[in-house]
Amino acid sequence: MPGPDVNHDLTVHDAHPTPHNPVPQLPLTPDQIETIPTTPGPPRLRRLTELVIAGTDPGDTRDTLVRHLVAVELRTATAALWREPRRAAQAAALDELGAIVGAYDTDGGAALDRLRRHLVVHRHLDELLTLVRRELDGQTEPEVLVEDGRAYAQYPYFRDSTLRIPDACYDVTAELGVRHRLTAVELDGAGLSLAVEAGVHRIPGGSAELVLRGHATGTELRFPAEDMGRGGFAGRVPLAGVPEGVWDVHIAVTAQGIGREARLDGGPDAVVSVVAADGTVATLTGPGGLALDVGELRHPVQDRLRVDGVAWDPQAGPATLAVTGRCALADHPAGSLVLRATAADGQVVDVPVGTGPDGSFRTPFPCTAAGEWRLVLRLAAGGREWAVPVPEQPELAVARWQRLGLPWYTKPLPDRGVLSVRTGRVEVIKGVRGRLRRRTP
């Protein structure tokens, strides 16, 4: 069984590094690499530690490299020891390994590695072989005992009265994470609802809270989650209780006094935005970690409103425009979205806009009131409003119709930056003169 690969940078890749505590690298020359035995065992471990000691100054970098190196190499070396059929060869190899490892302070790392080191240093051959056999059989996560706020994995010989191995060799408190899976998520105008399967790894039961943590500030907001049974929890975050900001969404779980927290992921693939009745704007994003944006810091409401097209719709009535577009808000107050026409004297005409399941709309808008009118798509809630201009339509023709037997017209006005129309009654004399001029060759 070959040992871990060593390249031009001596780096241990299998010793539980974290993003905040990465394993350092030690550059090696090709000649140095040639001197490293490939077979797991005392000669390989001795040579690797020699290279680390020679290539580093005393301090944290050296200690970290040696600790991780010993952890990884002992795994492969003790596995090779278990496969060695000769008892005398096993004992001799263990004695060499114990002498090498005992010369360094390598008590950190995972509990299983600490226990292995203890058995090696104290030359407990039979007990070490038992541990290795269980590890090779995949029995690496035994039951956990929680006591006085610490979690102990019940590996072989835990609290054995003869061996008296320190509890620290079994302490997995720092290794326990939180298992979690987001099973349902919904954002509406009132709040954020979540359903999560969660628990502290290897410890049954527990309680949970939803945690919003300010992305820039670190401020925490906590909301209760109801135990739904079988490791499931459900909670709701009312928008009224969340200040403006971008909030990362976490689940915090406590089991037998041991608490763990993780940021939730697996939310919606697309951005989900809502406008509440009081005008609060909230947006939920899922990829890369669930986040709640309250207050349009990253997702303006106007970006969710769109007008795609405008055309006359004779079937809907005289001088009636069919305005199409999309409102990409998942929720907004009833009646808050309208097409608004504003006259030069301040008079307004609102036509409610109804949207389909995908947010699309096709709304008829009659342009039969006399005057000049500017058209916008408008959303209003809680004293706030957002407006998107209906774009000008250079190809839109003049509409003509009759009211009480008299001719009327609606004419698009160019170069206004927004669709503007003038509606009025055709003056009969002017109309006759115009028709005569058009007929005169």
User: What are the tens digits of pLDDT across the range 168-194?
Assistant: 999 999 999 999 999 999 999 999 999
What pLDDT is stored for residue 7 in this prediction? 46
Q: What is the spatial distance between Cα 166 and Cα 160, in angstroms, rounded to a whole number? A: 10
Mean pLDDT of the residues in the chain: 91
Contacts for 404 with CB less than 8 Å, ≥ 6 apart: none
What pLDDT is stored for residue 440 in this prediction? 56
3-state class of 23 per DSSP?
coil
Structure-block tokens of residue 147: 């006591």
Name the pLDDT band for 288 (thresholds 50, 70, 90): confident
Percent of the chain with pLDDT over 70: 91
Q: Which residues of 286-299 are buried (b: 16+ CB within 10 A; e: fewer)?
A: beebbbbbbebeeb
Which CATH class, in words, describes the domain spanning 301-439?
Answer: mainly beta
What pLDDT is stored for residue 28 in this prediction? 85
What pLDDT is stored for residue 61 in this prediction? 87
Contacts for 259 with CB less than 8 Å, ≥ 6 apart: 200, 252, 253
What pLDDT is stored for residue 8 in this prediction? 45
The ranges of the chain annotated as CATH 2.60.40.10 are 182-294
In order of 191, 263, 288, the CA distances from 284 in angstroms are 11, 14, 12
* Mean pLDDT on 6-30: 56
What pLDDT is stored for residue 415 in this prediction? 93
427 or 122, higher pLDDT: 122
> Tokens 């190196």 — which residue?
69
The answer to which of 24-28, 218-222, 288-292 has the lowest mean pLDDT is 24-28
80 φ, ψ to 5°? -65, -35
| 399 CB neighbour count, 10 Å cutoff | 20
The CATH homologous superfamily of the domain defined by 182-294? Immunoglobulins (2.60.40.10)
Name the pLDDT band for 14 (thresholds 50, 70, 90): very low
Structure-block tokens of residue 185: 């998520």
Name the pLDDT band for 411 (thresholds 50, 70, 90): very high
Predicted TM-score of the model (pTM): 0.80
Alpha-helix runs per DSSP H in 38-86: 42-55, 60-83
